[in-house]
Structure 1
Amino acid sequence: MEEQNISFASFGLVVLDEIRFPNQPPMKNILGGSGAYATLGARLFLPPPMSQTLVWPLHIGNDFPDSIKELLQSWNTTLLMKKTPGELSTRGLLEYKDTTFGPKDFKYTTPILNIDENSIAESHILAAKAFHYLATPQDIQTRVSRLLTLRQKAGISSRPLIIWEPAPLSCNPENLQAFLEAARHVDILSPNHLELGRFFSRTGKDTPAKTGIEELASIILDRGVGPDKKGIILIRAGEQGCLIQSWDLPPTWLPPFYDSESSSGQQAVGVVDPTGAGNAFLGGFGVGYIQTKDAVTAACFGTVSASIALEQIGMPTKTRSGDMELWNGTSVEERLQEYMSRDEVELSLRRDEVPQR
């Protein structure tokens, strides 16, 4: 198989969510899942015709709504849709405790329909430049090994960018050693700050301070991220922004796109539902890194993708204004330029010009 110009693919799930708030009618068939949001994050920076380089593998059942299919098709990606007759699509129930999108419970209500490496063995998706996974430490090693073997058999000589976010329920002290071992098999390691803390038994109610996050990230880097220990650790830290660090990049912080809170303590203006923002961040980061080969610049892409993902429940609205593609009425490129021009962000981007202490 020849290596093709395929940019990004996520092996994350596509889930049809039912969302419930107290004393309100439920919202049904809301498109979600780590795969859907990661694909969204990548798609935001791949307008047509580049959108065709984004391959979207998904496994659906016989109840998958036509309206959702039409939405996916409207993104102009390369859809690789596997439908299993007699099976229900992956569905979940998301119950919020109040109307602030704060405390919530989630559970799957149907069996999970996965997409794995064997299912794309004969597909051009194998040649993608970046793959996104949400998996346990035990599973990621097996899956990456299988993917690389399939690529080798298909005559694809280059190594893809492997982006891994640990499955949240696997983030606990019992899995720490497996987590550290798995980190050596991926190129981008990205737990969020709370998941990172849980691996190291740091599970207080307070949000971990930046210094604490940097300390744990350094421990992981010392053990090694990536097969050559030159991988990147990328901690998504909610209202604190994100930390980017690697063997040749000192701890570098970027702020979130939206201010974390107003002076009254209410949720940030522009933030509706943060569900999926972290997944979208990684999709944007993946495309940004492919295009720029710079981790901090790529994290700016990711931050902008996350900002679009959290402005509504479910997926944003795509429209056009002349030749320009808009998401929620916004030009993604213009938002990226605005974000990168902020003083704090610009300073991080100019880090090579700033003497390190």
Structure 2
Amino acid sequence: MDFVAFGLIIDDIVFPDGRTAMGVLGGGGPQTAFGMRLWAEQVGLVGGIGADLPAEALAWLKSSGLDTTGLRVSTQWPTPRAWQILEADGRRTQLWRVPGPAIGAQLSRRLEYLPDNYRQAQGFHLGVHPEDPDLDFIKALRAYGAVVSIEPFRPAARPLSEAELRALLSAGQIFSPNEGEAASLVGPAEPLELVRRLVAAGAEVVALRQGERGATVHRADTGETWHIPPFETQVVDPTGAGNAFCGGFLAGWVQTGDVRLAGLYGAVAASFLVEQVGLPGVETRRGEEARRRLTVLQAGAIRLDK
């Protein structure tokens, strides 16, 4: 196993213009796994599903090339499902459509949920609540010898103490917030200052996601910092692009140890996610197109620490 992602939700999306898309496979895990799978052969997905998983979602999972032995099928609980209400200014509001106990049961993460071969993965990516980041689970993943990448599910709901912040930022080797999430942790600032503050508080590798403005990536050991441009394409739905970026970034970092290339891998993965509602269809030529997009983007990466 190369990489593992966590979590699966069925999204019912309401767009700013009132259009809807119901029963979309989401939740971060499939999107992250897509970003990983673009660059790696063996990618696993861990999560809980019910017998109500939509047929279209099941079909995508079966045809995606992902290893799905990490998916647990419950006879007691439904598949996690939520409204995703998108605003014109980019804000997103999530409203759960299933009972609270089902959310906890289906989205909980335990080591015993990992098939044996998943424990040999080179990298894991997971989302966390900033105030309760499940540090013991992350520590256990790192004990397998893997690289662990973390993204916040949302901005912090309260200020974190200095100790809490350091524990969060140093839990995994990679920390990838968006600008709003970063500002909630270290205060509002320009991207480079956000990165500087995150590193000062304990982060090793930072991938600051900036939506349509790309990303700023940094490694603390050398100070190397790059602005990664987005790939120019028709944006239909940005939902899940950040997750795909995280999956691609992790794959690139593990495979190359090059923070610039890792950022470019992430940007390419994100570019596929925005081109339709939900996940891209399975296409045999996507690897070739990914390499083409990587070549196009390389010239636009700008080093910021020189």
Q: Equivalents in 1 of 2:289, 2:115: separation in Å?
A: 36
Map of 1:10 onto structure 2:
5
Offset at residue 60 of structure 1 (A):
0.2
Say yes or no: does 1:129 pair with 2:118: no
Correspondence 1:140-219 to 2 at 5 A: 140-148=134-142, 151=144, 159-170=145-156, 172-174=158-160, 177-202=163-188, 212-219=190-197
Residue identity opposite 2:260 in structure 1: V
* Alignment CA distance shift 1:224-1:19 (3 Å): closer
Contact 1:117 1:146 in 2 (8 A): no
Are 1:336 and 2:298 matched, yes or no?
no
| Equivalences, count | 298
- How high is the sequence identity, in percent, across the aligned residues? 25
Which of 207, 221, 239 in structure 2 is aligned with 1:234? 207
* Residues 1:305 and 2:269 are matched in the alignment: yes
Query: Which stretch of structure 1 is more off in the superposition, 169-178 or 121-130?
Result: 169-178
Distance 1:256 1:172, change over 3 A: farther
The verdict on how the C-alpha distance between 1:18 and 1:176 changes in structure 2, with shifts beyond 3 A counting, is farther
Q: For the residues of structure 1 that align with 2:228 and 2:19, how far apart are their CA atoms?
A: 38
Equivalent residues in 2 for 1:45-84 (5 A)? 45-46=39-40, 50=41, 53-80=42-69, 81-84=71-74
Contact 2:126–2:149 (Cα < 8 Å) also in 1: yes
**Gap regions ≥5 residues in structure 2:** none
From 92, 95, 100, the equivalent of 1:107 is 95
Structure 1 residue runs of 5 or longer lacking an equivalent are: 1-5, 152-158, 203-207, 226-230, 259-268
Q: Which has the larger radius of gyration?
A: 1
Residue 20 of structure 1: which of 14, 25, 31 is its match? 14
> Residue 111 of structure 2 aligns with which residue?
118
Aligned in 2, Cα 1:23/1:305: closer, same or farther, shift over 3 Å?
closer
Alignment match of 1:34 (pick from 28, 32, 35): 28
Cα shift readout 1:185-231 (whole Å, capped 9, x = no counterpart): 210011111111122343xxxxx5xxx22123212212322xxxxx2
Counterpart residue type for residue 339 of structure 1: L
Tell me the CA shift for residue 55 of structure 1.
Answer: 1.3
Secondary structure of 1:27's counterpart equals strand
Check whether the contact 2:5–2:46 (CA below 8 A) recurs between aligned residues: yes
Question: Secondary structure in 1 aligned to 2:280?
Answer: coil
Distance in 2 between residues matched to 1:31 and 1:218, nearest whole Å: 35
> 1:283: which partner in 2?
247
Q: Counterpart of 1:117 in structure 2: which amino acid?
A: R
- Aligned partners of 1:171 and 1:196 also within 8 Å: no
Give distance in 1, aligned partners of 2:16 and 2:192.
38
Change in 2 beyond 3 A, CA 1:233/1:26: closer
For the structure 1 residues 297 and 21, does the alpha-carbon distance in structure 2 shift closer, same or farther, using more than 3 Å as the test? Answer: closer
User: Which string of whole-angstrom CA distances, capped at 9 and with x for unpartnered residues, describes residues 133-173 of structure 1?
Assistant: 10124324121123345x4xxxxxxx211100022043642
C-alpha change, 1:281 and 1:65, in structure 2 (3 Å) is same
Which amino acid counterpart does residue 198 of structure 1 have in structure 2? Answer: S
TM-score scaled by length of structure 1: 0.76
Give SS of 2:4's match.
Answer: strand
Residue 326 of structure 1: aligned partner: 286
Q: Equivalents in 2 of 1:129, 1:115: separation in Å?
A: 22
Give me the TM-score of the superposition, normalised by structure 2: 0.88
